[in-house]
Every structure is written in C-alpha cells, then in structure tokens.
Amino acid sequence: MLKNILNLEGAQELSKQQQKAVNGGKKCEIRSTGGLYENDGEGTGTYNGGNVANCCQVRCRPSFLGVGLGSWSGWEDTPC
C-alpha cells in the first residue's frame, strides 16, 4: 500500500523527524452548564462588549486519526 501511495504524483515519504512533528489534532467534549457566559464582569450581562451568551464548558485531549490519546484538559468556560 505504501508503494501505491508513493507512486502518486507529488507524494513523498516523511522523515522520522517529520513524522514526529505531525499534529494529529484534538478530540473535544462540550457540555452545557445552563448558565450565562459573562467575561466583562459578573452581573454585566455582556461578554466582549456584546450580549450575553449561554455558557458551555469544553475540554480536549490530543488525538491521532480520531483516536484520543493522553489526558483530558480541565473544563473551560466558553460561550456557545
């Protein structure tokens, strides 16, 4: 299969160093908190000078080919 791929126009095999540098992406989970996301100060009713958004939390971990690897990060608040 590798020979078939390398026979494609413009294809080249990565060096070991290049293979190590490949970023496989992230696998994330999102959950709704039911609250409001405010980052202009508590009770201001705004985030980034705009209207209030619903609050969600997200956490991620490294992934390769859709398979999660490593530890999950902590939950972080984000507008959703």
49-80: pLDDT as tens digits: 667 778 889 999 888 776 778 889 999 888 87
C-alpha pair distances (Å), 36 with each of 26, 50, 61, 62, 72: 26, 13, 25, 28, 24
Q: What is the pTM of this model?
A: 0.53
Type of residue numbered 17: Q
Q: Is 71 helix (H, G, I), strand (E, B) or coil?
A: coil
Report if residue 63 sits inside a domain: yes
More confident residue, 41 or 59: 59
Q: What is the pLDDT of residue 58?
A: 92
Report if residue 50 sits inside a domain: yes
Number of domains in the chain: 1
Once rounded to an integer, what is the mean pLDDT over residues 24-49?
A: 77
Distance CA 60, CA 80 (A): 16
Distance CA 47, CA 53 (A): 7
For residue 38, what are the domain limits? 23-79
